[in-house]
């Protein structure tokens, strides 16, 4: 296949064809991303038309990507209720194709298996790189060097390649081989201590990974920027999009406060720096919660009316924003005494009807039952050959002139081997058979892979 | 050095956090960002702290200064007839227009996608709103707390015995802004490739619903096994060797779990345990009691070490972990310094200050590193930008006296 004038390829015959309208159609991206941040980045690129080929291995299990282990024992699967496990809590014959985390972000992608530890696998990699536009990965530098994956080598094979490298701390500097997940990098960046409960041991605070969301979007955007660079110069480019450096700006106002005033905040919980009320309140029922915030006296007055306590707005402790903030604990108690008797969803509607910011804390079942989510078609039903038919979350934005759809289910391990070896790399039937015989190609991890 | 968005012009009608973050990112990649601000007060973020030396001043808001580098500021009331005409004139030479008003504001001002695309059919219009332009909640109000509560992973965040917790500060807003930057770049790509403009509807609620911050996975997971998982403490979703532990000089977070436990055992010099019954296989280590039993070994080991020592050990033995830092610790961290991440930017109202650096690093052939221009003063570039569309001299004075600019 040859590059067309605008640098796009003819992808006729691809197992996940575009729609003729998506912005990244005709671009081929090789993907050695692991865990969450990297795969979330390539998800966006596959979603919008790129042919994203995951390079995987049946001889090695990439930790925390297609699950925690290739073949987890039932004890392990059922120990923790994470809500991100296997279909029907059953790992099945090929657990790696049935796990919720992977299956969320692996839609619209392709999978090829290769053995990069062998000379033949290395030759195959070179052929593949020659046919690619992009290469995204988020492994520590040493893991990639082990397979000879460096910018110097790949760009020599393909001078038009756009390489985006997004390990937590980048590929240069003292932490280039420091392997973390999002939550550990966030700990280093100050997030868990900032968001911890105000009056409790910080160890009781949560551990989310907004950093993986930041890193993923940053990686996808970096690729598109690299593409623009190539369109202009005719040359490929290396871009680092380290998750840490994509995340720290999300704490920009805290960084600036330290920079300007030497101020260090900790344990802010759900509180705001100057607004009150601004908290989560327990409602009637089990684990039902409602968040409420007021940005003005007018909003607070309306809240008091809905509470049936209009006089509260005239209480000198709560009469203006500064007083409300200073007396926020008393205010939170007054609101809680009311909400504990109320239905969270109904109260959210009553408050929103008069323009008071209120949002119930939705669990997963609430989201699936929500009328707004349904009307906006946020979920799309997708059938997966080994996982069954389920409603998949789609995307956070709509391009109204460019219809979006999940064009194929989460890719199964090695599902596109034949296409990638023969049509993309150009191997003959005989040569392909050799890769099968050598154990590079398959849809099952080797029996001894943990 | 060719910046990827060099020559791309963005009309920025956003305010507060999410929209300005989107245009900050586009500006970092080289786009010309024309920030339209209300005459008088400007972007309301100018009135939000933290302020330099805690002095409230339109030019001293740290939030604003951080969010608005690489932009030019024009004061303009686009709800006046003349203001609207100026926006339309600017749109002729623009590639992207981004706005973050409630869904009806732009159409009601005569500046909806239909009108704008007639002036410039290739224009990408990116609208950021709380719940998107359609649906029963489209006019609902919200802020980081309430929108994250509905869309994000709040229900599952925190301690099971305490209330659910949001992410810190304005984090969900930043995420929405970043998604809007990506969406705009996708729209721009199609506009240039196919000559077709784009009308982009970014929903804050939906961005948080599809975030890889634990929410998206759980939404599919719920379909898989009907689980609505209760909150767990840090890293505890994997149990064994996972949590926040006290050290000599602070706290340290690790994650191991039954599968990745062996490296941690080696790190603390307890590799003998790996051959003992109850510890020798993943299944055995998945015993619910294993986590607490292991802490009897792990915690004393942690207590004898500084967070830096534990971090180095994690790096050496391949254990997942990180120090539980303050922002001050972060800003003194060796890695960010060595990489030259932080930037010092001078500004007339504050003098030089340290800012977070670029989200990504383009390895230009000549090794050059782009710089950032400080945030603009309110209306600093009004005359300059009006001149670019042919408005100068008395016409400018007239617009000023009429309160349009």
As a whole number of angstroms, the distance between CA A278 and CA A274 comes to: 9
Residues of B in contact with A241 (CB under 8 A): 359-361
Question: How far, in Å, are A272, A294, A303, A355, B147 from residue A298 at the CA level?
Answer: 18, 8, 9, 10, 20
ipTM: 0.98
Nearest CA-CA distance, residue A432 and chain B, Å: 34
Q: Per the CB < 8 Å rule, is B324 touching A187?
A: yes
Nearest CA-CA distance, residue B79 and chain A, Å: 23
Residue A102 has pLDDT above 50, yes or no: yes
Amino acid A2: pLDDT: 39
Q: Per the CB < 8 Å rule, is A246 touching B360?
A: yes
Residue among B186, B216, B287 minimizing CB distance to A48: B186
Q: Please report the DSSP string for A116-138 in residue order.
A: TTSHHHHHHHHHHHHT-SEEEE-
Amino acid A450: pLDDT: 84
Amino acid B200: pLDDT: 98
Question: How far, in Å, are B4, B16, B262 from residue B284 at the CA level?
Answer: 53, 52, 13
Residues of B in contact with A26 (CB under 8 A): none
Q: Is B222 exposed, middle or buried (0-12, 13-18, 19+ CB in 10 A)?
A: buried
Chain A residue with Cα closest to B189 = A23
Residues of A in contact with B341 (CB under 8 A): 245, 248
Nearest CA-CA distance, residue B322 and chain A, Å: 4
Which of A44, A62, A187, A281 to probe by mutation at the B interface, max B CB count within 10 Å? A187
DSSP 8-state code for residue A63: T
Q: Which helix (H) or strand (E) holds B218?
A: helix B215-225
Residues of B in contact with A218 (CB under 8 A): 178, 359-360
Which of A36, A170, A372, A403 to probe by mutation at the B interface, max B CB count within 10 Å? A372
Residues of A in contact with B198 (CB under 8 A): 399-402
Closest CA to B376 of B53, B22, B3, B33: B33
CB atoms within 10 A of CB B55: 11
As a whole number of angstroms, the distance between CA B313 and CA A108 comes to: 39
Mean of the pLDDT values across residues A390-404?
97
Q: Per the CB < 8 Å rule, is A390 touching B220?
A: yes
Q: Per the CB < 8 Å rule, is A187 touching B222?
A: no
Amino acid A3: pLDDT: 43
As a whole number of angstroms, the distance between CA A38 and CA A52 comes to: 12
Q: Per the CB < 8 Å rule, is A79 touching B356?
A: no
Please name every residue paired with A56 in a beta bridge, in sequence order, or none if there are none: A113
Residue A211 corresponds to which tokens in the numbers above?
């950093």
pLDDT tens, per residue, chain B with 405 residues:
889 999 999 999 999 999 999 999 999 999 999 999 999 899 999 999 899 999 999 999 999 999 999 999 999 999 999 999 999 999 999 999 999 999 999 999 999 999 999 999 999 999 999 999 999 999 999 999 999 999 999 999 999 899 999 999 999 999 999 999 999 999 999 999 999 999 999 999 999 999 999 899 999 999 999 988 888 765 456 689 999 999 999 999 999 988 899 999 999 999 999 999 999 999 999 888 899 999 999 999 999 999 999 999 999 999 999 999 999 999 999 999 999 999 999 999 999 999 999 999 999 988 999 999 999 999 999 999 999 999 999 999 999 999 999
Amino acid B126: pLDDT: 98
Residue among A68, A359, A393 minimizing CB distance to B220: A393
Residues of B in contact with A209 (CB under 8 A): 212-214
Nearest CA-CA distance, residue A157 and chain B, Å: 17
Q: Per the CB < 8 Å rule, is A280 touching B164?
A: yes
Nearest CA-CA distance, residue B392 and chain A, Å: 34
As a whole number of angstroms, the distance between CA B386 and CA A351 comes to: 43
Which of B112, B145, B208 to probe by mutation at the A interface, max A CB count within 10 Å? B145
Residue B113 corresponds to which tokens in the numbers above?
């996608």
Q: By the 8 A CB rule, do A48 and A19 touch?
A: no
Q: By the 8 A CB rule, do B180 and A7 touch?
A: no
pLDDT above 70 as % of chain A? 98
Amino acid B239: pLDDT: 82
Cis before A321? omega within 30 = no
Residue A360 has pLDDT above 50, yes or no: yes
Using alpha carbons only, what angle is made at residue A272 by residues A308 and B19, rounded to the nearest 5 degrees?
A: 105
Sign of the CA dihedral with A334 first, then A337, A338, and A340 last: positive
Amino acid B190: pLDDT: 96
Residue B266 corresponds to which tokens in the numbers above?
């080696």
Using alpha carbons only, what angle is made at residue A358 by residues A357 and A360, rounded to the nearest 5 degrees?
A: 155
Residue A1 has pLDDT above 50, yes or no: no
Q: What is the pTM of this model?
A: 0.97
Residues of A in contact with B177 (CB under 8 A): none
Residues of B in contact with A185 (CB under 8 A): 322
Nearest CA-CA distance, residue B17 and chain A, Å: 10
Residues of A in contact with B234 (CB under 8 A): 183, 192, 203, 205-207
Query: Confidence band (pLDDT; 50, 70, 90) for A447?
Result: very high
Q: How many residues does chain B have?
A: 405
Q: By the 8 A CB rule, do A260 and B350 touch?
A: yes
Q: Per the CB < 8 Å rule, is A218 touching B150?
A: no
B251-255 and A358-360: which strand pairing? unpaired
Q: Per the CB < 8 Å rule, is A213 touching B186?
A: no
Residues of B in contact with A146 (CB under 8 A): none
Q: By the 8 A CB rule, do B92 and B120 touch?
A: yes
Q: Is B147 on the interface with A (CB under 8 A)?
A: yes
Amino acid B234: pLDDT: 56
Amino acid B236: pLDDT: 56
Amino acid A75: pLDDT: 82
Which of A173, A291, A351 to probe by mutation at the B interface, max B CB count within 10 Å? A291
Residue A283 has pLDDT above 50, yes or no: yes
Q: Per the CB < 8 Å rule, is B361 touching A203?
A: no
Interface of B with A in 285-344 (CB under 8 A): 286-288, 311, 314-315, 318, 320-331, 333-336, 338-339, 341
Q: Per the CB < 8 Å rule, is B321 touching A180?
A: yes
Q: Per the CB < 8 Å rule, is B163 touching A36?
A: no
Residue among B147, B212, B222 minimizing CB distance to A364: B222
Residue among B154, B185, B286 minimizing CB distance to A361: B154
**For B231, left (φ over 0), alpha (ψ -120 to 50), or beta?**
beta
User: How many Å is the Cα radius of gyration of chain B?
Assistant: 26
Q: Per the CB < 8 Å rule, is B230 touching A280?
A: no
């Amino acid at each position: 296949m040859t590059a067309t004038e605008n640098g796009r390829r003819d992808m006729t015959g691809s197992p996940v064809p575009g729609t003729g309208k998506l912005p990244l159609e005709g671009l081929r991206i090789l993907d050695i991303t692991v865990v969450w941040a990297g795969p979330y980045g390539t998800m966006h690129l596959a979603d919008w038309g790129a042919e994203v080929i995951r390079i995987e291995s049946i001889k090695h299990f990439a930790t925390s990507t297609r699950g925690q282990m290739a073949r987890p024992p039932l004890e392990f699967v059922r120990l923790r209720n994470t809500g991100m496990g296997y279909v029907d809590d059953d790992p099945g014959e090929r657990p790696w194709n049935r796990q919720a985390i992977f299956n969320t972000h692996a839609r619209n992608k392709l999978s090829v298996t290769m053995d990069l530890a062998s000379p033949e696998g290395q030759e195959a990699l070179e052929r593949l790189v020659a046919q690619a536009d992009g290469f995204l990965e988020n492994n520590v530098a040493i893991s990639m060097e082990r397979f000879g994956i460096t910018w110097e080598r790949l760009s020599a094979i393909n001078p038009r390649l756009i390489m985006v490298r997004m390990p937590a701390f980048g590929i240069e500097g003292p932490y280039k081989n420091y392997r973390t997940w999002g939550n550990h990098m966030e700990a280093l960046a100050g997030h868990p201590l900032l968001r911890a409960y105000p009056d409790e041991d910080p160890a009781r605070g949560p551990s989310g990974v907004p950093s993986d969301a930041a890193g993923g979007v940053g990686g996808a955007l970096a690729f598109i920027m690299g593409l623009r660079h190539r369109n202009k110069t005719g040359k490929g480019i290396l871009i680092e999009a380290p998750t840490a450096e994509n995340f720290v700006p999300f704490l920009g106002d805290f960084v600036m406060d330290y920079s300007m005033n030497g101020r260090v905040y900790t344990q802010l919980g759900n509180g705001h720096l100057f607004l009150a009320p601004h908290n989560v309140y327990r409602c009637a029922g089990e684990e039902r919660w409602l968040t409420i915030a007021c940005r003005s006296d007018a909003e607070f007055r309306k809240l008091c009316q809905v509470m049936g306590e209009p006089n509260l707005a005239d209480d000198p402790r709560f009469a203006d924003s500064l007083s409300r903030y200073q007396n926020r604990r008393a205010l939170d108690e007054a609101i809680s005494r009311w909400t504990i008797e109320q239905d969270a969803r109904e109260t959210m509607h009553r408050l929103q009807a008069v323009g008071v910011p209120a949002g119930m804390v939705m669990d997963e079942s609430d989201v699936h039952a929500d009328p707004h989510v349904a009307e906006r078609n946020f979920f799309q039903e997708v059938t997966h050959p080994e996982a069954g038919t389920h409603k998949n979350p789609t995307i956070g934005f709509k391009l109204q002139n460019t219809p979006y759809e999940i064009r194929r289910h989460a890719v199964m391990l090695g599902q596109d081997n034949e296409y990638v070896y023969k049509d993309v790399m150009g191997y003959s039937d005989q040569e392909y058979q050799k890769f099968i015989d050598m154990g590079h190609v398959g849809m099952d991890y080797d029996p001894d892979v943990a | 050095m060719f910046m990827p968005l060099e020559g791309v012009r963005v009309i920025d009608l956003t305010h507060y956090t999410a929209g300005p973050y989107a245009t900050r990112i586009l500006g970092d990649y080289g786009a010309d960002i024309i920030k339209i601000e209300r005459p008088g007060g400007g972007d309301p973020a100018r009135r939000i702290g933290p302020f330099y030396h805690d002095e409230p001043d339109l030019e001293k808001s740290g939030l604003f200064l951080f969010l608005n580098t690489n932009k030019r500021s024009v004061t303009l009331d686009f709800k006046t007839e003349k203001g609207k005409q100026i926006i339309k004139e600017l749109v002729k030479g623009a590639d992207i227009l981004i706005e973050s008003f409630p869904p009806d504001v732009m159409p009601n001002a005569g500046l909806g996608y239909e009108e704008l695309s007639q002036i410039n059919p290739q224009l990408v219009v990116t609208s950021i709103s709380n719940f998107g332009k359609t649906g029963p909640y489209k006019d609902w109000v919200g802020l980081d707390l309430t929108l994250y509560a509905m869309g994000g992973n709040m229900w599952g965040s925190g301690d099971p015995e305490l209330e659910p917790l949001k992410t810190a500060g304005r984090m969900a807003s930043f995420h929405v802004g970043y998604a809007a930057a990506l969406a705009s770049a996708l729209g721009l790509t199609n506009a240039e490739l196919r000559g077709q403009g784009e009308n982009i509807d970014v929903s804050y609620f939906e961005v948080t619903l599809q975030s890889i911050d634990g929410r998206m996975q759980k939404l599919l997971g719920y379909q898989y096994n009907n689980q609505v998982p209760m909150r767990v403490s840090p890293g505890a979703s994997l149990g064994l060797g996972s949590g926040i532990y006290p050290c000599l000089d602070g706290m340290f977070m690790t994650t191991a779990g039954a599968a990745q436990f062996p490296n941690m055992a080696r790190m603390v010099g307890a590799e003998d345990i790996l051959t003992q019954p109850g510890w020798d296989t993943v299944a055995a280590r998945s015993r619910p009691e294993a986590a607490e039993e292991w802490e009897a070994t792990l915690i004393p080991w942690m207590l004898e070490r500084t967070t830096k020592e534990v971090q180095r050990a994690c790096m050496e033995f391949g254990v997942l972990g990180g120090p539980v830092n303050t922002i001050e610790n972060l800003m003194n961290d060796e890695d960010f310094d060595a990489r030259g991440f932080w930037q010092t930017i001078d500004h007339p109202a504050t003098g030089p200050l340290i800012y977070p650096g670029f989200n990504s690093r383009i390895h230009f052939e000549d090794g050059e590193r782009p710089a950032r221009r400080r945030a603009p003063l309110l209306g600093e570039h009004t005359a300059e930008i009006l001149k670019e569309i042919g408005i100068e001299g008395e016409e400018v004075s007239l617009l000023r006296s009429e309160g349009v600019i």
